[in-house]
Amino acid sequence: MLSIILLAGGSSSRFSPLKEKNLYPFLGKSFVEWQLERYVAIKPRDLIVVANEENIAEIDSVIRAKNYDAKVVVQKGDGQAGAVSTAIEHLSSSEDVLIINMNDVSEEILLNSFLEKLEFLRSNNTNLLTGYYTETYFPGGYLVLNEEGNVIEVQEKPGAGKEPSKYVRLVFDYFHSVAELKSALEKASSSKDDVYETALADMMKAGNKFFMLNYSGVWKTIKYHWHVLDVMEYYLSTITTPSISSSATIAKTAVIKGNVIIEDNVKVFDGAVINGPAYIGKNCIIANNALVRSSIIGNDCVVGFASEVARSYLRDNVWLHMNYIGDSVIESNVSFGSTSLTANFRLDEQNVKVLVKGEKVDSQKNKVGAIIGSNVRIGTGVNIMPGITIGSNSFVSSGALLERDVAAGSFVKLKQELVVKENNFDISKTNRDEIKSKIK
């Protein structure tokens, strides 16, 4: 009987200043809940979630709250090999197993296509790797196929123009024998963090068959913090009908267009506009003349007067007042002073580059705003340039122009010289009636 391993033990170091990526909520449910809901439904023999020391308590609490038939364990050892080996300790050697990345988003058709092939794989003692069809280069592992369409090799990051196929490997791996996988992992050796990949290569060289499952549907993954926007876009696309809680209060002159979910106790004031797809969490206020479009707003947020939130993700308790928030990800308990804004588009219209662990990384997006951690206060009139991150527990005082990242726990203050001198201009006898008469 099939068992499933969900990998959630990797560090979120490239996700800073945001919190644990596997627990990020979308449409009111955490990533963990969305994934467990899907895979618990097929009733596997065992479902093992491999976590780390930082996220195990929260993942375990989700499992307990939902009464899911799943077990969470802490990863031992490094990399994917360490995670899989940890989970295998809790499985019978006679089982077959499906291994999935927790923070990969795919459509239901991927799982359904696999289940349709399952009996064929079992009866032919065949393993399976999943290939995602792409016309553009992706810096990942590419599948090398033989004439029968089976995988005979995985080439890591071959470089643009050197791809052996159009198929990038997704971590949606099936092994017909836990015992064979365990043996391969125990024998594999590498000086780099690729023991799992080495084990796969060794199995292929030894003659083990690997069928390729062709997948061309939606695939999103959270590796960097701006990937939250990609995953948000996908979940928003799944809203097929509007839904407004009976406890919500919507002003007569407010405008709600398209597929919008509005949760309990939300207040939408006069002149506010919400363009779907959008999600408004519980106890939020969307104030007069505010505009929300293609965004997720968490619980207890205030989108204040004349603020615009476009294609952005706001977690809980974010407060705005006459602000522009575009293509940004903002953690919980963040406030913006009046007229502060997030710039999201370069003057040269090129892709926004973001500093990650000391290196500039191309976001592959020409619009990226700010990435802001929790417990942050932004003063009035602050301009935040594209792709800038602000670490948790930071204050930015009024009038600052942020052109570089702000580390966690920082207090940023604009230093300027204020010149005061005698005023020699007299305007007491100025007649402004002529100017006023031209105002129509």
> Could you read off the pLDDT of 405-415 as tens digits, one per residue?
999 999 999 99
- The encoded tokens of residue 438 equal 């031209």
- Cα–Cα dist 440/432, whole Å: 15
C-alpha atoms less than 13 angstroms from C-alpha of 90 in its C-beta half-sphere: 20
Which percentage of the chain shows pLDDT scores above 90? 82
Residue 435, pLDDT > 80, answer no
Q: Give pLDDT tens digits for 354-380.
A: 999 999 999 999 999 999 999 999 999
Residue 267 and residue 194 in one domain: no
3-state secondary structure of 274: strand
SS3 (DSSP) at 147: coil
Collapsing DSSP to helix, strand or coil, 173 comes out as strand
Instruction: Give the mean pLDDT of 77-105.
Output: 93
- Count of other CB atoms within 10 angstroms of residue 115: 12
Q: Token pair of 409, please?
A: 């726990």
| Residues 362 and 318: beta-carbon distance below 8 Å | no
Q: Are residues 244 and 368 in the same domain?
A: yes
Residue finishing a domain among 202, 221, 240: 221
Per-residue confidence band for 192, with pLDDT thresholds at 50, 70 and 90: confident
For CA atoms 11, 15, 17, 19, give the dihedral sign. Answer: negative
Q: Does any domain span residue 81?
A: yes
Whole-prediction pTM: 0.91
Q: In terms of Cα–Cα distance, which of 343, 408, 324 is closest to 374?
A: 408
The reply to whether 139 and 108 lie within a common domain is yes
Is it the case that residue 12 has pLDDT exceeding 80?
no
User: Measured between alpha carbons, how far is residue 103 from residues 20, 30, 58, 123 in Å?
Assistant: 11, 11, 15, 31
Beta bridge partners of 137: none
Pair 213, 243 in one domain: no
Instruction: List the CATH number of the domain containing 273.
Output: 2.160.10.10
CATH code for position 64: 3.90.550.10
Close Cβ partners of 133 (under 8 Å, ≥ 6 residues apart): 166, 167, 214, 215, 216
- The answer to whether residue 394 scores a pLDDT higher than 90 is yes
Phi then psi for residue 97, to 5 deg, are -145, 145
pLDDT band of residue 391 (cuts 50, 70, 90) is very high
Which of the listed residues 170, 193, 221 is the one where a domain comes to its end? 221
pLDDT for 11: 76
What span, in angstroms and rounded, lies between the C-alpha atoms of 295 and 313? 6
What's the whole-number mean pLDDT along residues 85-101?
Answer: 94
- Are 96 and 178 in contact by the 8 Å Cβ rule? The answer is yes
On whether residue 422 sits in a domain, the answer given is no
Task: Provide, for the chain, the percentages of residues in helix, strand and coil under a 3-state DSSP scheme, each rounded to the nearest 5.
Answer: 20, 30, 50
435 occurs within a structural domain: no
Mean pLDDT of 408-437: 88
Measured between alpha carbons, how far is 409 from 412 in angstroms, rounded to an integer? 10
Q: Are 166 and 264 part of one and the same domain? A: no
Select the more confidently predicted residue: 54 or 292.
292
> Is residue 421 in some structural domain?
no
Give SS3 for 333: coil
Q: What is the pLDDT of residue 432?
A: 78
Inform me whether the pLDDT recorded for 202 exceeds 80.
yes
What SS3 state is found at 175?
strand
Asked if residue 158 and residue 100 are part of one domain, the reply reads yes
Choose the most confident range, by mean pLDDT, from 123-127, 190-194, 413-417.
123-127
- Asked if residue 432 is part of any domain, the answer here is no
Q: Do 261 and 234 fall into the same domain?
A: yes
pLDDT, tens digit (0-9, with 9 covering 90-100), for 32-77: 999 999 999 999 999 999 999 999 999 999 999 999 999 999 999 8
Q: Is the pLDDT of residue 430 over 80?
A: no
Name the DSSP letter for residue 207: T
Say whether pLDDT at 433 is over 90: no
Positive or negative torsion for Cα 69, 172, 220, 402 = positive
Cis peptide bond N-terminal to 17, omega within 30: yes
Residue 333 lies in a domain: yes
Who has greater pLDDT, 10 or 229?
229
Number of domains in the chain: 2
Q: How far apart are CA 132 and CA 152, in angstroms?
A: 16
Q: Which tokens go with 429?
A: 């006898």
pLDDT at 312 over 90: yes
Average pLDDT of every residue of the chain = 94
- Does residue 389 belong to any structural domain of this protein? yes
- CB–CB of 392/404 below 8 Å? no
Query: Cα separation of 185 and 165, whole Å?
Result: 26
Instruction: Examine residue 242 and state whether it is found in any structural domain, yes or no.
Output: yes
Q: Tell me: do 28 and 176 sit in the same domain.
A: yes
Which among 386, 311, 310 is positioned nearest to 346, based on CA atoms? 386
Residue 215: Cβ-neighbour burial (10 angstroms; 0-12, 13-18, 19+)? buried
The mean pLDDT value for 320-334 works out to 98
Nearest to 21 by CA among 13, 29, 12: 12
The whole-number pLDDT of residue 374 equals: 98
210/348 same-domain check: no
Is pLDDT of 193 > 80?
A: no
**Is pLDDT at 15 greater than 80 in this prediction?**
yes
Structure tokens at 62: 């989700």
Q: Are 264 and 280 in contact (CB under 8 A)?
A: no
Same domain, 254 and 214: no
Q: What CA–CA distance (Å, rounded) separates 18 from 401? A: 22
Structural domain boundaries enclosing 392: 227-412
pLDDT-derived band at 156, boundaries 50, 70, 90: confident
Select the highest-mean-pLDDT range: 3-7, 152-156, 161-165.
3-7
Q: Are residues 181 and 258 in the same domain?
A: no
- Whether 1 has a pLDDT exceeding 90, the answer reads no
Residue percentage of the chain with pLDDT more than 70: 100
Q: Which tokens hold the place of 1?
A: 């009987």
